[in-house]
């Protein structure tokens, strides 16, 4: 499991670290990491290191200081280094002196002889000739987008960019981008991930992220966000053991779809069938369609006749009228964990009395997209999606899975999991119905709701990727993906589960027996 820490958490931890290790030593450790990674990138992109050219974009603070010290280290490896100073009066003085001692040079961003865009000739030349550019414009103290001169410099860069700590112009806390910002090929950060590396546009702009050890580990508190890795998802995935039967692995009820629109029912039920070994009961007007496609399902016409279940997946395609309301009220009264999606969320948003049907002891998972979220609370999540999800989860005492390219999952006690998909293949009609079925099945298997949501989101996104990449016409593996429908995503769920379970198995020590069952 990975963690991400807010700038505030990191600053506090740094202050504790400085009591043991002098601040300049910590900065040089950070800069050494930047230099090492930049040299590696140069070797990969140009075939060598000595004789190459690197330009540093240097802002007013310690982020620029890191870039200057990294430049000094690179200079010692025979690399030509030019620092482009955006705020010459405030540039980190020790770093600048270190760079100059090592034989690097510094030029002004906006002079002499600025061109019509306000960029000095020497700065323009340094960027044009660079084999790699280090972005030390702004780091943890960043506010807002890049200012005009910085934006123009970044716009001109054609070489690969290594961002120090985070891509400048990205909000460190929310990952939001509100104007010009750096798009890095590689981000070198210190001590641990920050939220911007895993959330929204920031995750995309960070490129690949390397975490450098600066001795902060012992000082960091519990992370603000957690991310499940494939091995975490695989290790906790429920599979049947020798003592299990169809009941002990969890019976999930699916209440979805309608006679006119049976698709949602078929997709949600199919996901539940493939997620775990437990029994799936379908209840609703699409029973014939469900039975036809998933004969292992026990299908009935109404939730009242469904029999006993350990959890419900409810909502997709049930409609927002009286019959949908009746279904949802029945499910909420059941005292079982519920994953409520789509029309269920619209119903809950419109009818306060429905909340009264809920058994307060039973976990309730809501899985809104931004529009459904707005219906529920009157406003879209805004730039800080983590804060928004956390607030609503606490207010309604629910587990809230906020859909988007980065899925944010908040528990009512404030814990947050993030699933950074880094691709958009699941953005297709019916994809949400599959997610609902996966979560329902995991809840029925007894998985903790926060983990169930995290596991389902991870496998869902991986299944979409597997389906999109498939194979080429000649049968060989494909690098490029093709758009997929939800049926293809659903069909790839078993492959995705096998993949994460293999990741978990690889982590067990040689000689360990991978225990069957849960």
Ligand X SMILES: NC(=O)C1=CN([C@@H]2O[C@H](COP(=O)(O)OP(=O)(O)OC[C@H]3O[C@@H](n4cnc5c(N)ncnc54)[C@H](O)[C@@H]3O)[C@@H](O)[C@H]2O)[C@@H](O)CC1
Q: Residue positions in the annotated binding site for K(+)?
A: 63, 135, 168
Of all residues in this chain, which one has the CB nearest to K ion in the complex?
168
User: Rounded to the nearest whole angstrom, what is the least distance from the CB of residue 182 to K ion in the complex?
Assistant: 7
User: Rounded to the nearest whole angstrom, what is the least distance from the CB of residue 73 to ligand X in the complex?
Assistant: 13
Distance CA 430, CA 423 (A): 17
**H or E stretch including 190?**
strand 186-190
List, as residue ranges, the binding site for AMP.
Answer: 403-407, 432
The smaller minimum CB distance to ligand X, of residues 168 and 436, is found at 168
Contacts of 379 (CB under 8 A, 6+ apart): none
135 counts as binding ligand X under rule CB under 6 A: no
Residue pair 153/84 in contact by the 8 Å Cβ criterion: yes
140 counts as binding ligand X under rule CB under 6 A: yes
What x/- string results for residues 156 through 195 when contact with K ion is judged by CB under 5 A?
-------xx---x---------------------------
Looking at residues 221 to 280 of the shown chain, list those that interact with ligand X (rule: CB under 6 A): none
27 counts as binding ligand X under rule CB under 6 A: yes
Distance CA 253, CA 334 (A): 11
- Contact region for ligand X (CB under 6 A) — 25-33, 48-56, 220-228, 303-311? 25-33
66 counts as binding ligand X under rule CB under 6 A: yes
- Structure token digits, residue 331: 């499910």
Contacts of 375 (CB under 8 A, 6+ apart): 345, 346, 349, 350, 368
- Contact region for ligand X (CB under 6 A) — 122-130, 144-152, 324-332, 453-461? 144-152
Quickly count: other Cβ atoms within 10 Å of residue 322's Cβ.
8
139 counts as binding ligand X under rule CB under 6 A: yes
- DSSP H stretches of helix in 294-382: 322-333, 343-350, 352-356, 370-377
135 counts as binding K ion under rule CB under 5 A: yes
162 counts as binding ligand X under rule CB under 6 A: no
Phi and psi at residue 487, to the nearest 5°: -65, -40
153 counts as binding ligand X under rule CB under 6 A: no
- Contact region for K ion (CB under 5 A) — 29-37, 103-111, 155-163, 446-454? 155-163
Distance CA 277, CA 251 (A): 9
CA-angle at 111, arms to 109 and 114, nearest 5°:
105
- Structure token digits, residue 361: 């002891």
Q: What Rg, from alpha-carbon coordinates, does the chain have? A: 26
State whether residue 476 is helix, strand or coil: coil
- Contact region for ligand X (CB under 6 A) — 62-70, 255-263, 397-405, 411-419? 62-70
Query: Which of the listed partners (ligand X, K ion, none) does 135 bind, with a CB threshold of 5 to 8 Å by partner kind?
Result: K ion
Q: Which residues bind ligand X (CB under 6 A)?
A: 14, 23, 26-27, 30, 59-64, 66, 138-144, 146-147, 150, 164-165, 190, 214
């Amino acid at each position: 499991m990975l963690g991400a820490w807010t700038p505030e958490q990191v600053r506090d931890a740094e202050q504790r670290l400085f009591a043991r290790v002098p601040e300049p030593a910590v900065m040089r450790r950070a800069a050494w990491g930047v230099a090492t990674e930049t040299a590696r990138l140069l070797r990969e992109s140009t075939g060598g290191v000595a004789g190459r050219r690197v330009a540093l974009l240097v802002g007013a603070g310690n982020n620029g200081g890191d870039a200057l010290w990294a430049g000094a280290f690179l200079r010692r490896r025979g690399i030509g280094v030019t620092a482009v100073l955006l705020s010459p009066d405030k540039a980190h003085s020790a770093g600048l002196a270190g760079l100059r001692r090592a034989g690097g040079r510094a030029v002004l961003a906006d002079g002499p002889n600025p061109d019509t865009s306000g960029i000095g000739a020497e700065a323009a030349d340094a960027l044009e000739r660079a084999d790699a550019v280090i972005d030390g414009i702004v780091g943890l103290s960043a506010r807002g987008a890049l200012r005009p001169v910085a934006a123009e410099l970044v716009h001109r860069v054609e070489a690969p960019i290594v961002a120090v700590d985070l891509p400048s112009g990205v909000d460190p806390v929310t990952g939001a981008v509100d104007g010009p910002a750096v798009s890095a090929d590689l981000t070198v950060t210190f001590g641990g991930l920050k939220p911007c590396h895993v959330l929204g546009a920031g995750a995309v702009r960070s490129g690949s992220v390397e975490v450098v050890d600066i001795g902060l580990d012992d000082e960091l508190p519990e992370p603000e966000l957690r991310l499940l890795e494939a091995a975490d998802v695989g290790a906790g995935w429920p599979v049947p053991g020798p003592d299990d039967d169809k009941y002990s692995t969890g019976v999930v009820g699916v209440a979805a779809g309608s006679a006119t629109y049976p698709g949602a029912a078929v997709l949600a039920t199919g996901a539940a069938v493939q997620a775990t070994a437990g029994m799936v009961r379908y209840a609703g007007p699409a029973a014939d369609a469900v039975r036809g496609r998933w004969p292992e399902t026990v299908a009935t016409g109404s939730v009242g006749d469904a029999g006993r279940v350990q959890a419900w997946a409810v909502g997709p395609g049930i409609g927002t009228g009286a019959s949908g309301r009746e279904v949802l009220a029945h499910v909420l009264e059941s005292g079982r964990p519920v994953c409520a999606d789509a029309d269920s969320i619209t119903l809950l948003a419109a009818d306060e009395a429905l909340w009264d049907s809920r058994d307060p002891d039973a976990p309730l998972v809501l899985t809104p997209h931004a529009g459904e979220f707005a219906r529920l609370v009157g406003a879209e999540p805004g730039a800080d999606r983590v804060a928004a999800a956390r607030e609503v989860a606490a207010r309604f005492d629910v587990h809230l899975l906020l859909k988007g390219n980065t899925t944010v999952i908040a528990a009512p006690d404030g814990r947050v999991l993030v699933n950074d998909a880094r691709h958009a293949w699941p953005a297709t009609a019916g994809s949400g119905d599959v997610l609902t079925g996966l979560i329902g099945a995991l809840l029925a298997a007894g998985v903790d709701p926060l983990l169930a949501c995290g596991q389902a989101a991870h496998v869902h996104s991986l299944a979409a990727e597997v389906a999109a990449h498939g194979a080429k016409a000649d049968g060989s593996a494909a690098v490029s993906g093709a758009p997929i429908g939800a049926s293809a995503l659903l069909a790839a769920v078993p492959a995705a589960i096998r993949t994460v379970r293999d990741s978990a198995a690889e982590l067990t020590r040689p000689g360990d027996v991978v225990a069957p069952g849960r």
